[in-house]
Amino acid sequence: MDTSEIQAKVVEIIGRYAKNKEAAATATETTNILEDLKVNSARLVDVILDFEDEFDIEVEDDDADAVNTVGDAVALIQSKVA
Amino acid sequence: MTASSAAGTTLGPVEILELLPQQEPFRFVDEILEVDEDHIVATYRYRAEADFYRGHFPGNPVTPGVILLETVAQVGVVALGIYLVALAGGRDEVKRTLALFADAEVEFSGVVRPGDRVTVRATKVFYRRGKIRSEAEMTLDDGTVVCTATISGMGVRT
């Protein structure tokens, strides 16, 4: 799976929880998940669980805490699926 | 789950009720019948004298759906959450943590009258990074399902 495929899936997953649907539609790797997409912080657990299901990976809590942007999520997933 | 898990405590039903922060007139758990890492069963009888029946509805008291949802949350999120937090971090961790409602998907399928007793059965979907989600069903004593919900709460340090 290449980076653009991962990013498309990441954006789709985060988009489920984004209050700002317009920003979700045009998200790039620098888009901040909480601030730009207006995802409720309590939803980050849901996002991580969806990543685990979608990509068949396990994400440690410390790794999850370091995810702020779409690009952070893509890089994390890429390191796990590689 | 954390490094402090060595301090873990397995709480019983009575201890959980003692630690449940919700109190009268906003406590909707009378008795916990079963609890373990994966599920909880508890009962509550709606007090006929509860103030909300005066307005919901005059002359035709029906327990508000939001109160049924709160009841499900106190059992499936707060009480089960207390058990899980204690298991990982002991009583002190429970006392430092307040469980707040995060999200819910709910369906109501029956009417609950003043004096009715309900049983809530909740099964854990996940408990991670301080967030708990349960699937729950509320039934009347005759077995009628009155509410099904998927509910989540977030443990917040106070």
CB < 8 Å to A43, chain B: 102-103
B39 is catalytic: no
- CB contact (8 A) between residue A49 and residue B126: yes
CATH of the domain at A8: 1.10.1200.10
Domain count for chain A: 1
Any alpha helices (H) in A1-82, and if so which ranges?
Answer: 3-15, 21-25, 44-55, 61-65, 70-81
**pLDDT tens digit sequence for B30-84:** 999 999 999 999 999 999 999 999 999 999 999 999 999 999 999 999 999 999 9
Domains and CATH numbers, chain B: 6-157 (3.10.129.10)
Query: Chain-centre distance of CA B149, in angstroms?
Result: 11
- CB contact (8 A) between residue A42 and residue B152: yes
| More confident site: A2 or B106 | B106
Nearest CA in chain B to A64: B129
Minimum distance, in Å, between the CA of residue B33 and any CA atom of chain A: 30
Q: Which domain holds residue A42?
A: 3-81
Residue A18 in tokens: 């984004």
Q: What is the mean pLDDT of chain A?
A: 94
Distance, in Å, from the CA atom of B31 to the CA atom of B37, rounded to the nearest integer, reads 18
Distance, in Å, from the CA atom of B21 to the CA atom of B23, rounded to the nearest integer, reads 6
The Cα-based distances of A76 to A35, B30, B36 in angstroms read 19, 46, 34
- Cβ atoms within 10 A of the Cβ of B71, count? 24
- CB contact (8 A) between residue A45 and residue B129: yes
Would you say residue A82 has pLDDT above 80? no
**pLDDT tens digit sequence for B1-15:** 444 445 799 999 999
Report residue A69's pLDDT band, with 50, 70 and 90 as the boundaries.
Answer: very high
Q: Report the predicted TM-score, pTM, of the whole model to 2 decimal places.
A: 0.91
Average pLDDT on B84-108 reads 95
Would you say residue B120 has pLDDT above 70? yes
Active-site hit among B27, B56, B91, B117: B56
Average pLDDT on A20-36 reads 95
